[in-house]
Amino acid sequence: MSQMETQTTTGETEEQIRDEWLEYDFEGESALSVEDLDVFYGNDQALQSISMDVPEKSVTALIGPSGCGKSTFLRCLNRMNDRIDAARVEGTVEFDGENIYDDDVNLVELRKRIGMVFQSPNPFPKSIRENISYGPRKHGDIDTGLVARLLGRDDRDEEEELVERCLRGAALWDEVHDRLDDNALGLSGGQQQRLCIARALAVSPDVLLMDEPASALDPIATSKIEDLVEELAEEYTVVIVTHNMQQAARISDQTAVFLTGGELVEYGDTDQIFENPQSQRVEDYITGKFG
């Protein structure tokens, strides 16, 4: 059969996923390498045997309709799914030559190197400065506490330098530099989200996972986040989940399309996915026929 299509009982054509749609050749190193990843929530399978390589220092977009498992996939990459009791993950994710699902993996170290930005801004109810220095403080890289100061260690200068660098990195410095001690919850939604990005940058990650970071924001805030994502890709590997296809087309270098049922259907160069998809279902999805 040249078309590789089978008839389902309902009479609709159901397409088989083909391996060559998933083969994406890129130059350079891969930051993450996913192999046969299955995820189950209780008895429901949320992801079906996903394999893909994520090239470093680029933007990889994960798109697909609601419930297709793209966020689940993202949360597998820094093992945030461990926090959901019912979730079970099988398969491997290789990062820096190591399978992150090995038993001896240090989750603290892993999440330090693979940062995450969530769908709704979730700053801590602390000052802007404390939000940025939260990670480094927890890792012992910055200490301005009384005990440390009595022991002759005072990282306040380092903290200032870090806060400015991260806020500049997240394009927020100009808006907040004169009120670093204000509560972060007083910022607008877009500013809060950029603060969350700055906060993630503060622990110097290699990879940044972003779960629909602009979905709760207005258009102006969204375009600021989009510009920022493109800039970040010069230094970081960015994997971004979005349900906004225009957004994916605008900012990503490569795109992976997930469809209902937790399948990765097609993965390739963003231009190619949006202009000339191989899969009929992906074409239907992108042209808005379903999903």
Partner 1 sequence: MSGASTTQAISRSFGELDWPARIAGLVGALSLIAAFAAFIVEPGAVVFPALVFVAVALYGWFAHQAETARSLTFLATASTLVILGVITVYLFVKAVPILRQMGASLLTSAVWDVHGGRYGLVTMMWGTLVTTIIATLVSAPLGVAGAVFISEIAPKSVREAVKPAIELLAGIPSIVYGYIGFVVINSYMMDLFRLPTNGSLFIVGLVIGVMALPTVVSVSEDALNAVPNAMKDGSVALGSTDWQTTKSVSVPAAISGISAAVILGVGRALGETMAATVILANVTQLPEPLYDVFGNTITLTSAIASQYGVAAGRPTQLSALFAAGVVLFVVVLALSVVSQTIERRMQQTLGGDQ
Residues lying near partner 1 in the complex (CB under 8 A) are found at: 78, 80, 83, 85, 107-112, 115-116, 118, 120-126, 134-135, 138-139, 185, 189, 192, 196, 199-200, 203
φ, ψ (nearest 5 deg) of residue 253 = -90, -40
Query: Least distance to partner 1 from the beta carbon of 110, Å?
Result: 8
CA–CA distance from 95 to each of 31, 263, 271 (Å)?
A: 6, 22, 27
Length of the chain: 291
Query: Least distance to partner 1 from the beta carbon of 94, Å?
Result: 19
The separation between CA 189 and the C-alpha centre of its own chain, rounded to angstroms, equals 19
DSSP per residue, 107-144: HHHHHHHEEEE-SS----SSBHHHHHHHHHHHTTS---
Torsion of CA 107, 113, 118, 121, to 10 degrees: 110
Query: Least distance to partner 1 from the beta carbon of 286, Å?
Result: 30
Q: What does the alpha-carbon distance between residue 171 and residue 121 come to, in Å, rounded to a whole number?
A: 16
Nearer to partner 1 (CB atom), residue 100 or residue 196? 196
Nearer to partner 1 (CB atom), residue 12 or residue 104? 104
Is 113 in contact with 207 (CB distance < 8 Å)? Answer: yes
Pairing mode, strands 44-55 and 30-41: antiparallel
Q: What does the alpha-carbon distance between residue 197 and residue 81 come to, in Å, rounded to a whole number?
A: 20
Contacts of 231 (CB under 8 A, 6+ apart): 171
Nearer to partner 1 (CB atom), residue 202 or residue 265? 202
Nearer to partner 1 (CB atom), residue 31 or residue 77? 77
Nearer to partner 1 (CB atom), residue 5 or residue 108? 108
For residue 254, the SS3 value is strand
Nearer to partner 1 (CB atom), residue 108 or residue 151? 108
- Residue at token pair 């190197």: 113
Query: Least distance to partner 1 from the beta carbon of 83, Å?
Result: 7
Query: Least distance to partner 1 from the beta carbon of 187, Å?
Result: 10
Nearer to partner 1 (CB atom), residue 80 or residue 249? 80
Query: Least distance to partner 1 from the beta carbon of 103, Å?
Result: 18
Query: Least distance to partner 1 from the beta carbon of 65, Å?
Result: 23
Q: What does the alpha-carbon distance between residue 95 and residue 115 come to, in Å, rounded to a whole number?
A: 13
